[in-house]
Amino acid sequence: MPVPRSASLTLAAASMLATAACAQDYFDAAPNGRAYDQSPAFAAQTRAPALLQGPELQMQVLAEGLEHPWGLAGLPDGGWLVTERPGRMRIVGADGSLSAPVEGLPQVDARDQGGLHDVSVAGDFAQTRRVWWTYAEPREGGRNATAVATGILSDDGTRMEQVERIWQQQPAWASTKHFGARIVHDGQGHILVGLGERSDPEPRQLAQDRQTTLGKVVRIRASDGAPAGAGVEGWLPEIWSIGHRNIQGAAMGPDGRVWMSEHGPRGGDELNLIEQAENHGWPLATYGTNYNGAQMGATQVEGTDQPVYYWDPSPALSGMAFYDGAMFPEWQGQALLGGLQSQSIHRLRIEGDTVTGEARHLQGVGRVREIEVAPDGAIVLITDHDDGRLIRVTPEG
């Protein structure tokens, strides 16, 4: 749905009804285009009732011409730090101005799903100018892996200074897929990083290996990358949870708990509550199937933790945020997740550990890669395309 720069698009009531109908079509669809032959482990684990309520929405394109934007972080002056997968970081001003690429970033391996990924700023950024980011780091022999770096953004916003790589995923692998790489701060001086398992059959098995960081969530000290993991004997000291496939979204909920979304194979996208020392099952347990149609593992495996919620067919979930603002009071505390394949925003009402409703908004907006909530309560998202856009979403009127 092409939208000209600085234009506003109002989604009329008819569009909202169409959205609700499409959402119900999605919930009723047979997974992977075949007869439904998998059963959830508990009620409300999938296909929650469709949420139909919600205001009419309008969109304003603040910036366009971004090449596969991936990460998004708000700045105190109302601007946004945006990463582009080929290895660039830019500032989009509150007025929509687009800066030249920030200088001083490390080299990335930008093949396929690699490149520059998530970005996060310190809570006291106005004083410290501290930034963190994740990226596909080139290693020896054509291998690569996710790395975490930090630096100080210069006062004029043109250069990253005092750059230090503080953590590396091990082992490196000759793959161009499944880097994961979302960052979330835990409020205790640490960051949790959700990591992919590199996709190929051999490294995929390492998601269950406690001596590697493929397919894991790691918890490290934000200042220097020192390990602060779950403290389980036999696990690497930074590992917080295991058994992940390709984490693409991460956010702290209103109650301080950390949630992450991840891609399943041809279905089986998951929403997981990330708690200390849990095993989320991959590749032993999954609600997805192989791309050749074969079953992959079982849906329930003893000793592994079930996803709070799963999707089948897959919307290809990406970035996420919990709504906290004044513009959409009826959405307060609800989760917003981007959909790459669904090209929409998925809104979830979560009560305790249960998803009790789901709605889809802005269908056709593009491949939503990341979502954030602006200080004034507007929803801000980026679309992952050759000509990606940064879009501000507000209620009509």
Distance, CA of 223 to CA of 135 (rounded, Å)? 18
**Alpha helix (H) residue ranges in 95-156:** 125-128
| C-beta of residue 388 within 8 angstroms of C-beta of residue 63 | no
Distance, CA of 268 to CA of 385 (rounded, Å)? 24
| Residue 307 tokens, joined | 């996803």
| C-beta of residue 168 within 8 angstroms of C-beta of residue 135 | no
* C-beta neighbour count of 332 within 10 angstroms: 13
Q: Give which of 315, 226, 341 is closest to 46, Cα–Cα.
A: 315
Number of residues assigned to the chain: 397
Distance, CA of 71 to CA of 89 (rounded, Å)? 9
Q: Which residues are catalytic?
A: 178
User: SS3 for 201?
Assistant: helix
Nearest 5 degrees, angle CA 58-CA 62-CA 65?
A: 125
DSSP 140: G
Location of structure tokens 């799903």: 113
